[in-house]
Protein backbone atom coordinates (compact mmCIF):
# COMPACT_ATOMS: atom_id res chain seq x y z
CA UNK A 1 0.00 0.00 0.00
CA UNK A 2 1.32 3.49 -0.84
CA UNK A 3 2.30 5.74 2.06
CA UNK A 4 -0.49 7.91 3.47
CA UNK A 5 -0.19 11.65 2.85
CA UNK A 6 -2.38 14.48 4.07
CA UNK A 7 -3.13 15.43 0.45
CA UNK A 8 -4.23 11.94 -0.59
CA UNK A 9 -6.46 11.64 2.48
CA UNK A 10 -7.94 15.08 1.80
CA UNK A 11 -8.89 13.98 -1.71
CA UNK A 12 -10.44 10.78 -0.40
CA UNK A 13 -12.27 12.76 2.28
CA UNK A 14 -13.66 15.21 -0.25
CA UNK A 15 -15.08 12.37 -2.34
CA UNK A 16 -17.00 10.62 0.43
CA UNK A 17 -17.75 13.11 3.20
CA UNK A 18 -20.49 15.75 2.95
CA UNK A 19 -19.58 19.45 2.88
CA UNK A 20 -21.65 20.02 6.02
CA UNK A 21 -18.94 18.24 7.99
CA UNK A 22 -16.37 21.02 8.02
CA UNK A 23 -12.78 20.51 9.01
CA UNK A 24 -10.44 23.11 10.46
CA UNK A 25 -7.09 21.75 9.29
CA UNK A 26 -5.98 19.84 6.16
CA UNK A 27 -4.05 17.22 8.10
CA UNK A 28 -4.81 13.76 9.47
CA UNK A 29 -3.79 12.57 12.93
CA UNK A 30 -1.51 9.57 13.31
CA UNK A 31 -0.80 9.76 17.03
CA UNK A 32 -1.13 12.14 19.96
CA UNK A 33 0.29 12.45 23.45
CA UNK A 34 -0.64 14.98 26.12
CA UNK A 35 -0.54 18.35 24.26
CA UNK A 36 0.96 17.21 20.97
CA UNK A 37 -0.44 15.63 17.79
CA UNK A 38 1.56 14.12 14.93
CA UNK A 39 0.04 13.81 11.47
CA UNK A 40 0.40 10.95 8.99
CA UNK A 41 3.49 12.64 7.50
CA UNK A 42 5.19 12.94 10.90
CA UNK A 43 4.61 16.70 11.35
CA UNK A 44 4.18 17.77 14.97
CA UNK A 45 1.50 20.18 16.22
CA UNK A 46 0.99 21.77 19.61
CA UNK A 47 -2.65 21.28 20.45
CA UNK A 48 -4.32 24.37 21.95
CA UNK A 49 -7.75 23.02 20.91
CA UNK A 50 -7.77 19.81 22.97
CA UNK A 51 -10.43 18.10 20.85
CA UNK A 52 -12.68 21.15 21.53
CA UNK A 53 -12.18 21.20 25.29
CA UNK A 54 -12.42 17.41 25.68
CA UNK A 55 -8.83 16.80 26.76
CA UNK A 56 -8.34 18.66 30.04
CA UNK A 57 -6.30 15.60 31.12
CA UNK A 58 -4.42 15.54 27.80
CA UNK A 59 -4.26 13.06 24.93
CA UNK A 60 -3.87 9.45 26.12
CA UNK A 61 -3.42 10.15 29.80
CA UNK A 62 -1.67 6.96 31.04
CA UNK A 63 -4.07 6.44 33.94
CA UNK A 64 -7.19 6.92 31.81
CA UNK A 65 -5.82 4.71 29.04
CA UNK A 66 -4.87 1.94 31.51
CA UNK A 67 -8.37 1.88 33.02
CA UNK A 68 -9.97 1.71 29.58
CA UNK A 69 -7.61 -1.14 28.57
CA UNK A 70 -8.59 -3.09 31.69
CA UNK A 71 -12.26 -2.57 30.88
CA UNK A 72 -11.72 -3.61 27.24
CA UNK A 73 -10.67 -7.04 28.48
CA UNK A 74 -13.83 -7.42 30.56
CA UNK A 75 -16.71 -6.13 28.39
CA UNK A 76 -17.36 -3.10 26.21
CA UNK A 77 -21.14 -2.94 26.03
CA UNK A 78 -24.14 -4.50 27.68
CA UNK A 79 -26.58 -1.56 27.28
CA UNK A 80 -26.93 -0.02 30.74
CA UNK A 81 -30.72 -0.38 30.61
CA UNK A 82 -30.46 -4.12 30.00
CA UNK A 83 -27.59 -5.18 32.25
CA UNK A 84 -25.97 -2.44 34.30
CA UNK A 85 -22.44 -2.34 35.77
CA UNK A 86 -20.64 -1.07 38.83
CA UNK A 87 -18.73 1.74 37.07
CA UNK A 88 -22.03 3.36 36.00
CA UNK A 89 -23.28 3.40 39.59
CA UNK A 90 -19.90 4.52 41.00
CA UNK A 91 -19.70 7.40 38.58
CA UNK A 92 -23.26 8.48 39.38
CA UNK A 93 -22.41 8.40 43.10
CA UNK A 94 -19.27 10.43 42.46
CA UNK A 95 -21.02 13.06 40.34
CA UNK A 96 -23.84 13.40 42.87
CA UNK A 97 -21.19 13.96 45.54
CA UNK A 98 -19.28 16.52 43.45
CA UNK A 99 -22.09 18.48 41.74
CA UNK A 100 -22.62 21.88 43.37
CA UNK A 101 -26.31 21.29 44.08
CA UNK A 102 -27.52 20.71 47.65
CA UNK A 103 -29.91 18.03 48.85
CA UNK A 104 -30.60 14.65 47.28
CA UNK A 105 -29.29 14.30 43.74
CA UNK A 106 -29.40 11.77 40.93
CA UNK A 107 -27.30 11.37 37.78
CA UNK A 108 -27.84 9.72 34.40
CA UNK A 109 -25.43 9.21 31.51
CA UNK A 110 -25.58 9.65 27.76
CA UNK A 111 -23.07 9.76 24.92
CA UNK A 112 -22.86 13.33 23.56
CA UNK A 113 -23.29 16.81 24.95
CA UNK A 114 -26.35 17.38 22.79
CA UNK A 115 -28.00 14.27 24.19
CA UNK A 116 -27.40 15.49 27.74
CA UNK A 117 -28.96 18.85 26.87
CA UNK A 118 -31.94 17.19 25.16
CA UNK A 119 -32.54 15.11 28.25
CA UNK A 120 -32.42 18.08 30.64
CA UNK A 121 -35.29 19.58 28.65
CA UNK A 122 -37.23 16.30 28.68
CA UNK A 123 -36.74 15.98 32.44
CA UNK A 124 -37.80 19.61 33.02
CA UNK A 125 -40.93 19.14 30.87
CA UNK A 126 -41.88 15.93 32.68
CA UNK A 127 -41.29 17.53 36.05
CA UNK A 128 -43.28 20.73 35.40
CA UNK A 129 -45.89 19.53 32.90
CA UNK A 130 -45.03 22.66 30.88
CA UNK A 131 -43.67 23.14 27.37
CA UNK A 132 -41.78 26.45 27.06
CA UNK A 133 -37.98 26.87 27.21
CA UNK A 134 -35.92 30.04 27.46
CA UNK A 135 -32.37 30.02 26.14
CA UNK A 136 -29.95 32.84 25.29
CA UNK A 137 -28.59 34.70 22.28
CA UNK A 138 -25.15 33.49 21.27
CA UNK A 139 -25.67 30.29 23.28
CA UNK A 140 -24.68 26.95 21.81
CA UNK A 141 -26.15 23.63 22.87
CA UNK A 142 -25.54 21.12 20.06
CA UNK A 143 -26.65 19.96 16.65
CA UNK A 144 -29.74 17.82 17.29
CA UNK A 145 -33.11 19.42 16.54
CA UNK A 146 -33.96 20.55 20.08
CA UNK A 147 -30.40 21.73 20.71
CA UNK A 148 -30.38 23.55 17.38
CA UNK A 149 -33.56 25.31 18.45
CA UNK A 150 -32.01 26.29 21.78
CA UNK A 151 -28.86 27.55 20.09
CA UNK A 152 -28.70 31.31 19.69
CA UNK A 153 -26.65 31.54 16.50
CA UNK A 154 -28.21 31.09 13.05
CA UNK A 155 -25.26 30.69 10.68
CA UNK A 156 -24.11 27.99 10.23
CA UNK A 157 -26.07 26.03 12.83
CA UNK A 158 -29.75 26.77 12.04
CA UNK A 159 -29.80 28.20 8.55
CA UNK A 160 -31.68 25.92 6.08
CA UNK A 161 -32.66 23.51 8.83
CA UNK A 162 -36.02 25.04 9.86
CA UNK A 163 -38.65 24.98 11.13
CA UNK A 164 -37.18 24.91 14.61
CA UNK A 165 -38.84 23.03 17.50
CA UNK A 166 -41.61 25.14 19.00
CA UNK A 167 -41.88 26.97 22.34
CA UNK A 168 -38.24 28.09 22.51
CA UNK A 169 -37.63 31.78 23.26
CA UNK A 170 -34.27 33.53 23.19
CA UNK A 171 -33.38 36.11 25.80
CA UNK A 172 -30.32 38.36 25.49
CA UNK A 173 -27.09 37.07 27.01
CA UNK A 174 -25.39 39.84 28.99
CA UNK A 175 -21.89 40.60 27.75
CA UNK A 176 -20.61 44.12 28.45
CA UNK A 177 -17.78 43.50 25.93
CA UNK A 178 -20.56 43.19 23.29
CA UNK A 179 -22.47 46.16 24.67
CA UNK A 180 -25.23 44.11 26.35
CA UNK A 181 -25.86 44.88 30.01
CA UNK A 182 -27.41 42.62 32.64
CA UNK A 183 -30.37 45.02 32.90
CA UNK A 184 -31.04 44.68 29.17
CA UNK A 185 -30.77 40.90 29.40
CA UNK A 186 -33.24 40.76 32.31
CA UNK A 187 -35.62 43.11 30.48
CA UNK A 188 -35.51 40.77 27.48
CA UNK A 189 -36.77 37.92 29.70
CA UNK A 190 -39.58 40.16 30.93
CA UNK A 191 -40.42 40.95 27.29
CA UNK A 192 -40.68 37.23 26.52
CA UNK A 193 -43.11 36.81 29.42
CA UNK A 194 -45.16 39.79 28.19
CA UNK A 195 -45.20 39.11 24.49
CA UNK A 196 -44.57 35.41 23.86
CA UNK A 197 -45.29 32.99 26.69
CA UNK A 198 -46.72 33.20 30.20
CA UNK A 199 -44.09 32.22 32.79
CA UNK A 200 -46.44 29.54 34.12
CA UNK A 201 -46.01 27.74 30.78
CA UNK A 202 -42.21 27.81 30.91
CA UNK A 203 -40.63 24.49 31.89
CA UNK A 204 -36.96 25.45 31.79
CA UNK A 205 -34.37 28.15 31.36
CA UNK A 206 -30.99 26.94 30.04
CA UNK A 207 -27.73 28.87 30.03
CA UNK A 208 -24.01 28.16 29.76
CA UNK A 209 -22.07 29.56 32.79
CA UNK A 210 -19.49 30.63 30.20
CA UNK A 211 -20.62 30.61 26.59
CA UNK A 212 -18.43 28.26 24.56
CA UNK A 213 -18.96 28.57 20.84
CA UNK A 214 -20.61 31.96 21.54
CA UNK A 215 -17.29 33.56 22.50
CA UNK A 216 -16.36 32.67 26.11
CA UNK A 217 -18.60 35.40 27.53
CA UNK A 218 -19.20 34.82 31.23
CA UNK A 219 -22.33 34.78 33.36
CA UNK A 220 -21.69 36.89 36.48
CA UNK A 221 -22.78 35.80 39.97
CA UNK A 222 -25.30 38.67 40.02
CA UNK A 223 -26.91 37.59 36.74
CA UNK A 224 -27.01 33.95 37.88
CA UNK A 225 -28.70 35.11 41.09
CA UNK A 226 -31.28 37.07 39.11
CA UNK A 227 -32.04 34.03 36.92
CA UNK A 228 -32.38 31.85 40.02
CA UNK A 229 -34.87 34.35 41.48
CA UNK A 230 -36.96 34.42 38.27
CA UNK A 231 -37.00 30.61 38.13
CA UNK A 232 -37.94 30.34 41.81
CA UNK A 233 -40.72 32.88 41.41
CA UNK A 234 -42.30 31.06 38.48
CA UNK A 235 -41.46 27.41 39.20
CA UNK A 236 -39.10 27.18 36.21
CA UNK A 237 -36.32 24.56 36.15
CA UNK A 238 -32.93 26.29 35.94
CA UNK A 239 -30.41 24.35 33.84
CA UNK A 240 -26.71 25.14 33.60
CA UNK A 241 -25.17 23.64 30.47
CA UNK A 242 -21.66 22.72 31.62
CA UNK A 243 -20.82 20.55 28.61
CA UNK A 244 -17.82 22.78 27.79
CA UNK A 245 -17.11 24.44 31.15
CA UNK A 246 -16.98 21.30 33.28
CA UNK A 247 -14.20 19.22 34.74
CA UNK A 248 -11.64 21.84 35.58
CA UNK A 249 -11.58 24.05 32.50
CA UNK A 250 -12.57 27.15 34.49
CA UNK A 251 -10.40 26.47 37.57
CA UNK A 252 -13.10 24.64 39.52
CA UNK A 253 -14.57 21.24 38.71
CA UNK A 254 -17.77 22.98 37.56
CA UNK A 255 -18.00 26.67 36.61
CA UNK A 256 -21.22 26.80 38.65
CA UNK A 257 -19.11 26.72 41.81
CA UNK A 258 -17.98 30.29 41.03
CA UNK A 259 -21.52 31.64 40.64
CA UNK A 260 -22.83 31.25 44.18
CA UNK A 261 -26.09 29.90 42.79
CA UNK A 262 -27.35 26.34 42.39
CA UNK A 263 -29.08 25.18 39.22
CA UNK A 264 -31.76 22.47 39.38
CA UNK A 265 -30.13 20.42 36.64
CA UNK A 266 -26.72 20.55 35.03
CA UNK A 267 -25.08 18.87 32.07
CA UNK A 268 -21.49 17.78 31.68
CA UNK A 269 -19.63 16.07 28.84
CA UNK A 270 -16.41 16.81 26.89
CA UNK A 271 -13.55 16.55 29.47
CA UNK A 272 -15.73 14.41 31.76
CA UNK A 273 -14.28 11.23 30.24
CA UNK A 274 -10.94 12.45 28.88
CA UNK A 275 -11.63 11.69 25.21
CA UNK A 276 -14.23 8.91 25.46
CA UNK A 277 -17.81 9.74 24.45
CA UNK A 278 -19.75 10.22 27.65
CA UNK A 279 -22.12 12.90 28.90
CA UNK A 280 -24.12 13.34 32.08
CA UNK A 281 -27.11 15.06 33.59
CA UNK A 282 -27.00 15.60 37.34
CA UNK A 283 -29.74 17.31 39.28
CA UNK A 284 -32.20 17.50 42.12
CA UNK A 285 -33.53 14.01 42.79
CA UNK A 286 -37.19 15.06 42.79
CA UNK A 287 -36.86 16.61 39.33
CA UNK A 288 -34.64 13.83 37.94
CA UNK A 289 -37.22 11.22 38.96
CA UNK A 290 -40.04 12.84 36.97
CA UNK A 291 -39.75 10.86 33.68
CA UNK A 292 -41.32 7.40 33.72
CA UNK A 293 -39.15 4.26 33.47
CA UNK A 294 -37.93 3.91 29.89
CA UNK A 295 -38.22 7.66 29.26
CA UNK A 296 -34.47 8.17 29.64
CA UNK A 297 -31.49 6.28 28.27
CA UNK A 298 -30.04 5.24 24.91
CA UNK A 299 -28.38 2.17 23.43
CA UNK A 300 -24.83 3.36 24.07
CA UNK A 301 -25.68 5.82 26.88
CA UNK A 302 -23.25 5.50 29.77
CA UNK A 303 -20.90 3.17 27.91
CA UNK A 304 -18.61 1.27 30.34
CA UNK A 305 -15.43 2.54 28.65
CA UNK A 306 -16.61 6.11 29.20
CA UNK A 307 -17.60 5.42 32.82
CA UNK A 308 -14.22 3.95 33.81
CA UNK A 309 -12.45 6.74 31.93
CA UNK A 310 -14.45 9.38 33.82
CA UNK A 311 -13.67 7.77 37.17
CA UNK A 312 -9.97 7.88 36.23
CA UNK A 313 -10.26 11.52 35.09
CA UNK A 314 -11.67 12.52 38.49
CA UNK A 315 -8.64 10.89 40.18
CA UNK A 316 -6.20 12.55 37.79
CA UNK A 317 -7.69 16.02 38.36
CA UNK A 318 -7.25 15.54 42.09
CA UNK A 319 -3.81 13.86 42.04
CA UNK A 320 -2.25 16.30 39.59
CA UNK A 321 -3.81 19.44 41.08
CA UNK A 322 -5.38 20.34 37.74
CA UNK A 323 -7.87 22.85 39.17
CA UNK A 324 -5.03 24.98 40.50
CA UNK A 325 -3.12 24.38 37.25
CA UNK A 326 -6.15 25.62 35.30
CA UNK A 327 -6.02 28.93 37.15
CA UNK A 328 -2.25 29.21 36.59
CA UNK A 329 -2.55 28.49 32.87
CA UNK A 330 -5.31 31.07 32.44
CA UNK A 331 -3.27 33.71 34.24
CA UNK A 332 -0.06 32.87 32.36
CA UNK A 333 -1.78 33.20 28.99
CA UNK A 334 -3.69 36.35 29.94
CA UNK A 335 -0.52 38.02 31.26
CA UNK A 336 1.41 36.98 28.16
CA UNK A 337 -1.21 38.43 25.82
CA UNK A 338 -1.56 41.63 27.86
CA UNK A 339 2.21 42.13 27.86
CA UNK A 340 2.30 41.85 24.07
CA UNK A 341 0.64 45.28 24.05
CA UNK A 342 -0.71 44.56 20.60
CA UNK A 343 -3.36 46.89 19.22
CA UNK A 344 -4.69 43.88 17.27
CA UNK A 345 -5.81 42.26 20.52
CA UNK A 346 -9.07 43.57 21.95
CA UNK A 347 -10.81 42.09 24.95
CA UNK A 348 -9.05 39.23 26.79
CA UNK A 349 -11.34 37.23 29.09
CA UNK A 350 -10.84 34.08 31.09
CA UNK A 351 -12.17 31.99 33.91
CA UNK A 352 -9.33 29.65 34.82
CA UNK A 353 -7.92 28.24 31.61
CA UNK A 354 -11.13 28.94 29.66
CA UNK A 355 -9.62 31.89 27.84
CA UNK A 356 -10.47 33.81 24.69
CA UNK A 357 -9.11 36.97 23.13
CA UNK A 358 -10.70 39.13 20.43
CA UNK A 359 -8.87 40.32 17.36
CA UNK A 360 -9.79 43.83 16.25
CA UNK A 361 -8.92 46.14 13.37
CA UNK A 362 -7.41 49.62 13.58
CA UNK A 363 -10.86 51.04 14.47
CA UNK A 364 -11.25 48.53 17.30
CA UNK A 365 -13.95 46.59 15.41
CA UNK A 366 -14.12 42.76 15.22
CA UNK A 367 -11.67 41.41 12.65
CA UNK A 368 -12.71 37.91 11.57
CA UNK A 369 -10.28 37.98 8.64
CA UNK A 370 -7.30 38.65 10.90
CA UNK A 371 -8.52 35.87 13.19
CA UNK A 372 -8.62 33.38 10.31
CA UNK A 373 -5.16 34.53 9.21
CA UNK A 374 -3.71 34.21 12.69
CA UNK A 375 -5.00 30.64 12.87
CA UNK A 376 -3.62 29.80 9.42
CA UNK A 377 -0.21 31.33 10.20
CA UNK A 378 -0.04 29.60 13.58
CA UNK A 379 -0.85 26.30 11.89
CA UNK A 380 2.06 26.80 9.47
CA UNK A 381 4.30 27.07 12.54
CA UNK A 382 2.77 23.99 14.17
CA UNK A 383 0.16 25.41 16.56
CA UNK A 384 -3.52 24.40 16.46
CA UNK A 385 -5.98 27.12 17.52
CA UNK A 386 -9.79 27.40 17.43
CA UNK A 387 -11.92 30.48 16.97
CA UNK A 388 -15.36 31.34 18.30
CA UNK A 389 -17.65 34.27 18.97
CA UNK A 390 -20.57 36.01 17.35
CA UNK A 391 -18.31 37.85 14.92
CA UNK A 392 -15.86 34.94 14.47
CA UNK A 393 -13.06 37.16 15.80
CA UNK A 394 -12.18 35.42 19.06
CA UNK A 395 -9.42 32.87 19.52
CA UNK A 396 -10.31 30.39 22.22
CA UNK A 397 -7.63 28.46 24.04
CA UNK A 398 -8.57 24.98 25.29
CA UNK A 399 -5.10 23.59 25.89
CA UNK A 400 -4.93 20.44 28.08
CA UNK A 401 -4.42 21.33 31.75
CA UNK A 402 -1.61 18.76 31.78
CA UNK A 403 0.47 20.90 29.38
CA UNK A 404 4.10 21.40 30.43
CA UNK A 405 5.35 24.96 30.93
CA UNK A 406 7.76 24.47 28.00
CA UNK A 407 5.11 23.42 25.48
CA UNK A 408 2.72 26.12 26.71
CA UNK A 409 5.44 28.74 26.21
CA UNK A 410 6.31 27.32 22.79
CA UNK A 411 2.67 27.74 21.74
CA UNK A 412 2.45 31.27 23.13
CA UNK A 413 5.66 32.25 21.34
CA UNK A 414 4.08 31.13 18.06
CA UNK A 415 1.08 33.38 18.76
CA UNK A 416 3.49 36.26 19.39
CA UNK A 417 5.38 35.60 16.14
CA UNK A 418 2.29 35.40 13.96
CA UNK A 419 0.59 38.44 15.49
CB 269 within 8 A of CB 300: no
Q: Which is nearer to ligand PLP, 353 or 360 (CB)?
A: 353
Q: Which is nearer to ligand PLP, 244 or 412 (CB)?
A: 244
Q: Which is nearer to ligand PLP, 35 or 271 (CB)?
A: 271
CB 216 within 8 A of CB 349: yes
Looking at the DSSP bridge assignments, the partners of residue 36 are 33, 46
Q: Which is nearer to ligand PLP, 114 or 301 (CB)?
A: 114
Q: Which is nearer to ligand PLP, 100 or 142 (CB)?
A: 142
Q: 63 in helix, strand or coil?
A: helix
Torsions phi, psi of 199, nearest 5? Answer: -55, -25
Q: Which is nearer to ligand PLP, 35 or 120 (CB)?
A: 120
Q: How many CB atoms lie within 10 A of CB 140?
A: 26
Closest separation in Å from C-beta 247 to ligand PLP: 13
Closest separation in Å from C-beta 264 to ligand PLP: 17
Q: Which ranges in 17-157 belong to alpha helices (H)?
A: 50-53, 62-72, 86-98, 113-128, 145-150
How far apart (Å, rounded) are the C-alpha atoms in residues 366 and 358? 7
Q: Which is nearer to ligand PLP, 174 or 199 (CB)?
A: 174
Q: For ligand PLP, which residue has the nearest CB?
A: 113
Q: Secondary structure of the chain: what % helix, strand, coil (to 5)?
A: 40, 20, 40
CB 219 within 8 A of CB 241: no
Closest separation in Å from C-beta 53 to ligand PLP: 7
Closest separation in Å from C-beta 144 to ligand PLP: 7
Q: Which is nearer to ligand PLP, 113 or 215 (CB)?
A: 113
With CA atoms as reference, report the closest residue to 108 among 128, 123, 124, 98. Answer: 123
Q: Which is nearer to ligand PLP, 208 or 262 (CB)?
A: 208
Closest separation in Å from C-beta 132 to ligand PLP: 20
Closest separation in Å from C-beta 293 to ligand PLP: 25
CA 201 remoteness from chain centre: 29
Closest separation in Å from C-beta 103 to ligand PLP: 25
Closest separation in Å from C-beta 200 to ligand PLP: 27
For 157-171, give one letter per residue: b (16+ CB within 10 A) or e: beeeeeeeeebbbbb
Closest separation in Å from C-beta 68 to ligand PLP: 19
Strand residues in 259-417 grouped as ranges (E): 265-268, 279-284, 345-351, 354-359, 383-384, 386-388, 394-397
Q: Which residues bind ligand PLP (CB under 6 A)?
A: 52, 112-114, 117, 140-142, 208, 212-213, 241, 243-244, 269
Sign of torsion, CA 309 311 312 317? positive
Amino acid sequence: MSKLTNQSLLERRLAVLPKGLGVAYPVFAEKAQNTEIWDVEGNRYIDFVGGISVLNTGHNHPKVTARVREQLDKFTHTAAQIVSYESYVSLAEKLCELAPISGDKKAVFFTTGAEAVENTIKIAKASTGRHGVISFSGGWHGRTHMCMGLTGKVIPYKNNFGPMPSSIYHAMFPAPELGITEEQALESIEMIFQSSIHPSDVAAMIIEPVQGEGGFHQVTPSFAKALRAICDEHGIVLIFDEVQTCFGRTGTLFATEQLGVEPDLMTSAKSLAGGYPLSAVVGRADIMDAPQAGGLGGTYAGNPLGCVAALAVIEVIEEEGLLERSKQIGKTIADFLTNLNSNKIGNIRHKGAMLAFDLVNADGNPDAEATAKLRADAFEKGLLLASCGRHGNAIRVMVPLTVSNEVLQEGLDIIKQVL
